[in-house]
Chain A
Amino acid sequence: MGRYVIRRLLWTILVVVVVTFLSYVIFFLMPSGDPATRFAGRQPTPELIAEVRRQLNLDEPWPLQYVYYLKNLIFGDEYGWPGFGYSFNQSVPILPELIERSKVTLSLIAGGAILWLAMGIPVGVISAVKRRSITDRLTMGVALFFVSAPVFWLGLLSLYLFWNKLGWLPGTGYVSFGTSPKDWFLHLLQPWFVLALLFAAIYARLVRGNMVDTLSEDYIRTARAKGLSERRVIYRHALRSSLTPVISLLAVDLGVLVGGTIVTESVFNLQGLGQWVLVGTTDQDLPVTLAVTTLVAIVVSLMSLLGDIVYAYLDPRVRYK
């Protein structure tokens, strides 16, 4: 197991190198304009552009710049460790901003994940147990609706209804937990639900499918034949094995969402990582884009590893060597 974990951690480093390298390739080989010209005014002289390029560290050949990036990442820079540099466009050091924004995104993902698990798993189980009933068809129909509904649409609808019309919840924005736990909770309630509804629908359908398969297994029939209660059969025997694929999926989803809540964060004006990577990409702000992609690559790899380990723990048939 130990050797497996070490091997996976080494793979994580390779993934980070490949992802950041590809980001560099995309930035330099498919440019949509020179970022230096944005800071050099309307009639920039070649000298001025060269000076701005030098200050943005864009004056070296890009492979060399990439080496510097890795060096700073490993050994740190003037703004701390790991070294992520300075934003071209926003004139702030990346590292403290990355930390601040991670708090926002983690708040969003954590609350959303709790909600979607709390909604998705029970709905999936009930739907599987009452297969082909009205409840099953109704819940799966609702699930299909939320899987299909664009997040931005749900977000705008929610804001219109609960903030604009009913006034039950505050509008957009983020209040830190330290400032006011109550406002933190109230401001995140809508984004949590909007994010959770999509995933709850996906997880409900996944759990239902797994449960339906599991309930037709021989060992379930045996359990019932032994006289175990239906509740015990479902929750003790069927649910456990039905949830193991959910663990793997959850781990990957949580990792991907670290940089993947772009729409939710944009609609609800949450200054998180997803919103930041969108701005970084549209502004050609390479340090911002690299910082978020690096973080996401690390988190996805580690969460995937964590998911595999938990999977092995839950399913004795799986063992890593």
Chain B
Amino acid sequence: MTRRRRRALALASALALVAGGVVVAGCGGDDNKAAGTTSGGGGATTDGGTATKGGTYRVGVSDLGYSNGFDPSAEYTAVSWQIQRNLMVRTLLGYRFTEGPTGNEPVPDLATEIPTPTNGGKTWTFTLKDNVKFGAPLNRAITSKDIAYSFERLANPKVAAGYAFYYTDIVGFQAFADGKAKTISGITTPNAKTIVFNLTKPLGDFIYRLTMPATGPIPREVGKCFEQSGRYGRYVISSGPYQIEGADKLNPASCATMKPISGFNPVRSLSLVRNPMYDAATDVETTRESNPDRFTWTVNTNSKDIFDKIDAGELEGSQDAIPADVARRYLRDDALKDRVKPRVDDGTRYITMNLTEAPFDDIHVRKAVNLVMDKGGLLRAWGGTTYGEVGTHIIPSSLLPATDEVANYDPYPSPDGAGDLAAAMAEMKLSAYDKDKDGLCDAGPCKGTLLINRNVDPYPKMEPILVESLKKIGITPTVRSLPTGSAYTLIQTVAKKIPIGANPIWGKDYSDASTFAVLFDGRNLAPTNNSNYSLVGITAAKAKEIGASYPAGGVPNVDADIDKCNALPAGDERLECWFAFDKKLMEEVVPWVPYFASKNTDLLGPAVTKWDFDQSAGETAYSKVAVDPSKQK
């Protein structure tokens, strides 16, 4: 899923607003941990660096609306998680907010330790640290009931929590959601420091699910007033090192007395200041350095101007995607290139093929498409390696075992990812859609095959590469380019029977491969808003129910593989299981052409003296940055 819009009403406004893309859910991870301090032009910065305390870290952003008003219970964007987890919302378990595999490992945050589950992996008991407190205006100790309440919000349909499905295996969660119970029976709080979760089945990734911002403590006395979608965002009570500026003026006496905290207006700016109730001594494992005194995010509708201001030292960074021309200019200049920070963010951009629609109901056609696709060309259309690396498999390598086998795994290899026509034609010959066995798809469905694409930059630049690649094996697509929302709606509506789509991206929600596996779970299939675009695991009955076709040869099902991996506890065996699953997808199911592993690329202002990458969110680690106010304008 990607973040947001961009449909120009006119050429002029489109150009003025160029590259206003914003990244949504999905995080990152690679193992190329950079270190040391370098300085670029104008006193630029790099990873590591000097942690100077004080100053204001200023960020430009084209939209602060995010996905659900900044309400931690409902937000579903990596950029909001980045702010909340690094700065405002502590959870039972968190991350180290650093780059690479280390940044993807859960560590205790509010909890004293990561417990060992009991009851066959179904019971998890956490103890809260001493001296963890809410910020203004409550300034009181955080208790286990505050965490239990955040789960009640997750289950509450009115809050419209985007990822409540991760918690439906807690005993009584669904009953509470359905209004059949007043509490979630599977969550108990024997005392103010202890919270116990009882699950319906063992979940190896449960500790990862407890790192999500929605599971952070929310005080019921404030939260109860804002149990509608996105409404709590302007009243978030901090449990982290920073709080919304003006939080001390919030009057929590009653719902009527609470007015939006002045430091956050979703249409203009967000301003965070230090939370005096935060005790850094309780935050050793996650190592939030909390260097600046203040953070600001200011909406700027001119994305180009954001990067001009970073260039001029008026901003330290942006949450918008860096325009390709700006990235090129910096990367070509030795004095400036260190200020550009491309980091693999654990997202996969891919072409989805519908396993129930001809000619993609034939695995040989799907393999041939993987073999012939000019992935290198698609990457260049995006702007090159600043934006990603040629994709070779579905699940990001950082979520799999850190082995050479994973690093080198490429079942459809070709030099520079340019495609291997001979191998593709050989594969196509095995297909029933190549009637004369000349290596070209020549049956009816190969002509005019509907291909969905987006009409926003840079997707149109991909179109000729997609078309030419497919033509080489006899598939002549009819491309339909649509706005982002429309393109997604189309491929998510099963009855539309879209054969192939080049518009999606998927990123991890948390640092476990299960957040990719859900895309291939046949039990998740739905007639609309369906995210299993390839319809992996569909049965004849389900196809009839949701309006899909069903091919004579059937459709592969990987539900058992998913269950097998999900039941394993976090560790090497689980990682190996997911790698086997990834290989099965790539070689026996072949639902996608993963054309590149995406990168998050930040541009830093000259006043930034320290920077790190939060692998868990796939974004800048705000908890680690520092600025030198003397270099700010």
On A, residues with C-beta under 8 Å from B are 32-34, 37-49, 51-52, 55, 87, 89-92, 97, 150-153, 155-156, 159, 164, 171-173, 262-263, 265-269, 271, 275-276, 278-279, 281-284
Q: How large is the interface on B (under 10, 10 to 19, 20 to 34, 35 or more residues)?
A: 35 or more
Shortest beta-carbon distance, A23 to chain B, in Å? 14
* Nearest opposing residue in chain A for B309, CB measure: A171
Query: Bound state CA distance, A49 and B161, in angstroms?
Result: 11
* Nearest opposing residue in chain A for B74, CB measure: A39
Query: Bound state CA distance, A159 and B298, in angstroms?
Result: 19
Taking a contact as CB atoms under 8 Å apart, the answer to whether B267 and A90 are in contact is: yes
A and B contact pairs by CB, cutoff 8 A, 12 listed: A37-B489, A39-B160, A42-B162, A42-B531, A47-B157, A90-B266, A91-B231, A171-B305, A171-B308, A269-B300, A271-B267, A282-B7
Shortest beta-carbon distance, A271 to chain B, in Å? 6
Residue B200 at the chain A interface, CB threshold 8 Å: no
Within 8 Å CB of A92, what residues of B?
265-267
Q: Is the interface of B mostly helix, strand, loop or mixed?
A: loop
Residue B592 at the chain A interface, CB threshold 8 Å: no
* Nearest opposing residue in chain A for B163, CB measure: A41
Taking a contact as CB atoms under 8 Å apart, the answer to whether B267 and A51 are in contact is: no
* Nearest opposing residue in chain B for A54, CB measure: B158
Residue B552 at the chain A interface, CB threshold 8 Å: no
One of B160, B165, B308, B483 near A52 (C-beta < 8 A): B160
Taking a contact as CB atoms under 8 Å apart, the answer to whether B12 and A263 are in contact is: yes
Q: Tally inter-chain residue pairs, CB-CB below 8 A.
A: 154
Within 8 Å CB of A276, what residues of B?
267
Within 8 Å CB of B163, what residues of A?
41-42
Within 8 Å CB of A155, what residues of B?
16
Shortest beta-carbon distance, B318 to chain A, in Å? 13
Residue B564 at the chain A interface, CB threshold 8 Å: no
Taking a contact as CB atoms under 8 Å apart, the answer to whether A34 and B25 are in contact is: no
Known: A92-B267, A97-B267. A172 touches B160 (CB 8 A): no
Query: Bound state CA distance, A217 and B6, in angstroms?
Result: 53
Shortest beta-carbon distance, B433 to chain A, in Å? 32
Shortest beta-carbon distance, A41 to chain B, in Å? 3
On B, residues with C-beta under 8 Å from A are 1, 4-7, 9-10, 12-13, 15-17, 25, 63-65, 67-70, 74, 76, 157-158, 160-165, 228-231, 233-234, 265-268, 298-302, 304-305, 308-309, 312, 314, 482-483, 485-486, 488-489, 509, 518, 524, 526, 528-529, 531
* Nearest opposing residue in chain B for A35, CB measure: B485
Question: A282-B6, A282-B9 given. 5 additional CB < 8 A pairs?
Answer: A41-B165, A42-B1, A91-B69, A172-B302, A279-B63
One of B157, B230, B482, B509 near A39 (C-beta < 8 A): B230
Within 8 Å CB of A171, what residues of B?
305, 308-309, 312, 314
Within 8 Å CB of A44, what residues of B?
162, 529
Within 8 Å CB of A263, what residues of B?
10, 12-13, 16
One of A41, A52, A172, A262 near B76 (C-beta < 8 A): A41
Query: Bound state CA distance, A217 and B312, in angstroms?
Result: 58
Taking a contact as CB atoms under 8 Å apart, the answer to whether B9 and A283 are in contact is: no
Query: Bound state CA distance, A152 and B13, in angstroms?
Result: 7
Taking a contact as CB atoms under 8 Å apart, the answer to whether B489 and A34 are in contact is: yes
Within 8 Å CB of A266, what residues of B?
13, 16-17, 301-302
In this complex, the member of A45, A49, A159 whose beta carbon has the largest number of chain B beta carbons within 10 angstroms is A45
Closest CB pairs A-B (n = 5): A41-B162, A33-B485, A91-B69, A152-B16, A32-B486
Taking a contact as CB atoms under 8 Å apart, the answer to whether B162 and A39 are in contact is: yes
Query: Bound state CA distance, A91 and B165, in angstroms?
Result: 24
* Nearest opposing residue in chain B for A93, CB measure: B260
Within 8 Å CB of A268, what residues of B?
302
Taking a contact as CB atoms under 8 Å apart, the answer to whether A172 and B12 are in contact is: no
Taking a contact as CB atoms under 8 Å apart, the answer to whether B302 and A267 are in contact is: yes
* Nearest opposing residue in chain B for A164, CB measure: B308
Shortest beta-carbon distance, A46 to chain B, in Å? 7
